[in-house]
Amino acid sequence: MEDFQGRSGQAMNNDTYSSKRMSKEVGATTRGGSWALIVGGLAGIGCTLLTPYPGGGSLLDAFQGGESGISDSQEPLVNPPTDLKVGVLNNLDSVKVALPGASFPVSLNFQAAAANVVGGGIRFEGSDEVQWTLLSKVTGEKVGDVEFSYVVDAGACDDIGNLCHSILAEEFVITEIDSEFHVSEPVEIEVVLQCATCGSTSCVEILPPGSCQECVQPSVCEDLYEVCYGKDAPWEGTQEANVFEQFLGGGGSMWKGLHTCVEGEALCSMFIEDDRCEF
């Protein structure tokens, strides 16, 4: 598998990529004061200054050092062979925003006539290693989705400039052929490490409109998702789950402003304390 070239740390014009973001209509059926809190909070969205960071570090190290990585990761695959018989499509945006201490999602749809998919992986520009994880839910499936999250270390911005930094990455479906792990043909994405203000020139030029975040999703909202809207949870796949994802999910609107960050966390805490899932 050949190395690929990218644009690490360079600013891009927004016209150079397209976004598949879709705004979900939540309608007038959403009820109660919690919805009013969301709507009221959105009026206060605005990006303010993040703490500046010194420069001089490696962008690849920022993504692979410290606690960065995939949960339950396997030994990295170095220049693995390619399985040309598995088809892969990206389920998400081709540009992803990474925040220190948070994770960004990987979701690939696959078709594998041999039913030999065993997991998923990612490789960053400048590295010959595919970081990957086994996923039991896809074992034996001919069609399905490989889904996992990549965590960015909380100190990822400590040794690089206070800018928005762009790095190319390749996402893969992992298959097994004759007891040897293979990768699918890559799905190329752009990952932007946000180490600067939303109004910074580097961020304005490189981030898709509306994607700048002031804070990461707090742990109490992650807990609420698991209890109410996640896999096998009672409200999985409902309109309530869609509302949560749009406003309080990992890339939700409530995390794009300092004021709404506080309100979003308070809302999740209220739901947990009241043992409720309905907005």
- Structural domain boundaries in the chain: 31-46+214-279, 53-196
What are the average pLDDT values for consecutive 10-residue runs of the chain, which has 279 residues? 39 32 33 51 42 62 93 94 96 89 92 97 96 96 95 92 93 97 97 88 87 84 94 91 90 82 93 93
Q: Are 167 and 183 in contact (CB under 8 A)?
A: no
Tell me how far apart the terminal alpha carbons of the chain are, to the nearest angstrom.
48
pLDDT score at 48: 35
Q: What is the mean pLDDT of the chain?
A: 82
C-alpha–C-alpha distance, residues 230 and 232, integer Å: 6
pLDDT score at 255: 85
Listed residue (74, 90, 187, 60) closest to 131, CA to CA: 74
Which ranges of 75-234 does DSSP label H, i.e. alpha helix?
201-206, 219-224
pLDDT score at 25: 32
CA distances from 224 to 16, 233, 241, 273 (A): 37, 10, 11, 10
pLDDT tens track for 146-202: 999 999 999 999 999 889 999 999 999 999 999 999 999 999 999 999 998 788 898
pLDDT score at 93: 84
Amino acid residing at 75: E
Q: Would you tell me which CATH number, out of the four given (2.60.40.10, 3.90.1150.10, 3.40.50.1820, 2.60.120.380), belongs to the domain 53-196? A: 2.60.40.10
Is 275 exposed, middle or buried, given 0-12, 13-18 or 19+ CB atoms closer than 10 A? Answer: exposed
> b/e per residue, 26-62, with b = 16+ CB within 10 A?
beeebeeebbebbeebbeebebeebeebeeebebeeb
Q: And the tokens for 20?
A: 């598949």
Phi and psi dihedrals of 278, rounded to 5?
A: -90, 130
C-alpha–C-alpha distance, residues 264 and 44, integer Å: 12
pLDDT score at 129: 96
pTM, entire model: 0.68
